[in-house]
Amino acid sequence: MSKVITGFSKLSKSEKIDWLAENYFQDKKKGIETLEQYKNQDAKLQQLHDEFIENTISNFYVPYAIAPNFIINGKSLAIPMAIEESSVVAAAALTAKFWSTKGGFIANVISTTKIGQVHFTYKGNVSELRQYFSSIKDDLIIATDHITSNMRKRGGGIVDIELRDKTEELEDYFQLHVKFETGDSMGANFINSCLEAIASAFEKEGISIIMSILSNYVPECLVRAEVSCSIEDFFEEDADLYAQKFVQAVEIAKIEPYRAVTHNKGIMNGIDAVVLATGNDFRAVAAGAHAYAAKDGKYKSLTHAKIEDGQFKFWIEIPLSLGTVGGLTKLHPLAKLSMEILQGPNASELMQIVAVAGLAQNFAALRALTTTGIQQGHMKMHLMNILNQLEANVHEKELIIQEFKKNAVSHSAVAECLHKIRTGH
């Protein structure tokens, strides 16, 4: 039977599930029961979730956790994180506690400008195009006045429009490169609406508009977070050795892309978890961060470290386009609660918090890698996942957790231990 369906979006939720079960589930009853298990029992809340996206049939949960003890610019914070990966939250909390006695994290926003572009082709005389742009530039901004009026009252709006000639890279290709300030809003809808109005006002004979869209690459929406301490405070024993190894590990990630990708992935473990918990777009943030890591023509570490005059210093500079108003930040109940836990930050403050989370995660990973190795702590955290995969009961879990407090954790070792418990050996 054909699995192609017409009008799927018009079916009710139960009809969608029935069609899915009929065509794709191996065990129809179990599949439907699983979807029902993850449906919110509060009908109003479930409807809210259903309306976030299209064709919803259930909810897909990830754990929502707290990493306490962060001191950021002298302010004590607990940071909410939504993530499924073992050890991320534990690592963040451990790092926060470590630096809480050493002055905490210092963070500052360097710039907040965001970018949108009108992409078009033009086959005529380039000098005439430049003259046309110069003559109409003010009118292009005026064409957005009805869109930008409220944003301008909050100190935002269009900062500048540039005409960029890209014909050396693609035949007949030009763009209007537009800079925006969007205040506490992430600003995607605002930027796209402005760009479409600009494109409409700019288009004339000879100019063919291809598309108008914001960019998730925001190198001028930049935040810095850092920590520092004396070498003596870095580690209980062999502090000089381990501080040097830490710096060398960062330097390796600057010159070796194979290492840099994993290095930066760890940073994004912390960043994406907070971005998701606050209802922001973690995919846009990740894409922009990785593009920034390659801005010099080679993919490299987003963090930096050095030892100078007996001081260890570790920092990150990263582009983050975030919002604290609009979107899911005001719709999703847990996103709203996250903002409350973070003491109601504005967009700049949230940028600082998120950058700190990324730096903390990277510090924890590098400290483990250059001392005990990453697997010791990670696999201890992963133990519960293995036990759940093996369907261990509460008593079996207690026995195995005790057994692996001093022994190396692996899936095969845990399975063997569980087998021995169950067979009485």
SS3 85: coil
Can you tell me which residue has the tokens 């009961």? 393
**Marked catalytic residue, from 49, 245, 265, 397:** 265
Burial of 179 (0-12, 13-18, 19+ CB in 10 A): middle
Q: Rounded CA gap, 319 and 110, in Å?
A: 10
Q: Does the structure show a pLDDT above 60 at 367? A: yes
Q: Rounded CA gap, 177 and 161, in Å?
A: 6
Q: Rounded CA gap, 216 and 397, in Å?
A: 45
Q: What is the DSSP string of 86-130?
A: TTHHHHHHHHHHHHHTTT-BEEEEEEE-EEEEEEEEE-S-HHHHH
79-133 pLDDT tens trace = 999 999 989 999 999 999 999 999 999 999 999 999 999 999 999 999 999 999 9
Is 411 considered catalytic here? no
9-20 pLDDT tens trace = 999 999 999 999
pLDDT for the residue 257:
97
**Type of residue found at 375:** Q
Is 378 considered catalytic here? yes
Q: How far is CA 79 from CA 55, 76, 91, 320, in A?
A: 32, 10, 13, 17
244-279 pLDDT tens trace = 999 999 999 999 999 999 999 999 999 999 999 999
170-190 pLDDT tens trace = 999 999 999 999 999 999 999
224-239 pLDDT tens trace = 999 999 998 887 778 8
Is 281 considered catalytic here? yes
Q: Does the structure show a pLDDT above 60 at 329? A: yes
Those residues whose C-beta lies under 8 Å from the C-beta of residue 397, and which sit 6 or more positions away, are 384, 387
CA-based nearest residue to 345, from 138, 8, 72, 48: 72
pLDDT for the residue 133:
98
Q: Which H helix or E strand runs over 370?
A: none
**Marked catalytic residue, from 184, 196, 272, 281:** 281
pLDDT for the residue 378:
53
**Marked catalytic residue, from 18, 85, 220, 403:** 85
pLDDT for the residue 326:
82
Q: Which H helix or E strand runs over 227?
A: strand 221-230
Q: Rounded CA gap, 221 and 375, in Å?
A: 35
Q: How far is it between the farthest Cα atoms of the chain? A: 88
**Marked catalytic residue, from 16, 114, 378, 382:** 378
pLDDT for the residue 64:
97
287-317 pLDDT tens trace = 999 999 999 999 999 999 999 999 999 999 9
12-55 pLDDT tens trace = 999 999 999 999 999 999 999 999 999 999 999 999 999 999 99
Q: Rounded CA gap, 370 and 388, in Å?
A: 31
pLDDT for the residue 415:
87
**194, 116 contact by CB (below 8 A):** yes
Query: DSSP class of residue 216?
Result: S
pLDDT category, 390, cuts 50, 70, 90? Answer: confident
**113, 181 contact by CB (below 8 A):** yes
Query: DSSP class of residue 295?
Result: T
Tokens for 260, please give them. Answer: 């840099």
pLDDT for the residue 388:
82
Query: DSSP class of residue 325?
Result: B
152-173 pLDDT tens trace = 999 999 999 999 999 999 999 9
Tokens for 338, please give them. Answer: 């996250």
- Residue of higher predicted confidence among 138 and 232: 138
Mean pLDDT for the chain overall:
93
Domains by residue range for the chain, with CATH? 8-50 (no CATH), 65-111+221-371 (3.90.770.10), 114-214 (3.30.70.420), 377-422 (no CATH)
